[in-house]
Amino acid sequence: MAGALAKRCKVFDMKVIGFTRTACEVQYFDQIVDLKNVLSAIRQLDYLVVLAPYTLENEGIVNSSVFSEMKESAYIINLARGKVVDDKALIQALKNGEIAGAGLDVFTKEPLPSSSPLWDLDNVIIIPHMGGMSESYVRQAMPVLEHNLKAYLENDYGLMLNKVVR
């Protein structure tokens, strides 16, 4: 997903910086930054697009430290998982003008409660967890569904892919 987005950004002559825990080169990225150096690289961004998977290691990884390093004119777009971004820190950053705005497809609690302050912020665009939908979604998702159904029917839950756990 990140590579596909990077390719599209390059069409608009954008500089594309990726963040990772493992050193690698990825086509269409101008720079890959180790997560240990994320705060210094964050200062360069006009848009922070979050595509990280949810893991315990990634929980809250986009937090007040990240927001405080972002430009006041920068935007965050979260297409990852809700728990990757610290909601309270995001709301504070948006209210305090630390960042210009946010485009949000995912939230810590879904559906987003009507009591969430995000609904009332003029600098936020909210969409209902559909950012990954495309014409090719079924073609891409079907192999995972088939694999998981087979593992389920064979009582081999350890082989299931993309498991949702509590």
Superfamily of domain 2-132: NAD(P)-binding Rossmann-like Domain (3.40.50.720)
Domain with CATH 3.40.50.720 in the chain: 2-132
Among candidate residues 21, 110, 146, 166, the one labeled active-site is 110
Residue 59 is among the residues annotated as catalytic for this protein = no
Taking alpha carbons only, the member of 31, 3, 26, 27 closest to residue 16 is 31
State residue 166's pLDDT score.
33
Its pTM stands at 0.77
Whether 8 is a known active-site residue: answer: no
pLDDT digits (tens, 9 = 90+) for 65-95: 999 999 999 999 999 999 999 999 999 999 9
Q: Which residues of the chain have pLDDT under 70?
A: 129-134, 137, 162-166
**Token pair for 80:** 């990852």
Of the candidates 25, 81, 135, 147, the residue annotated as catalytic is 81
The reply to whether 81 belongs to the active site is: yes
From the list 59, 69, 129, 147, the catalytic residue is 129
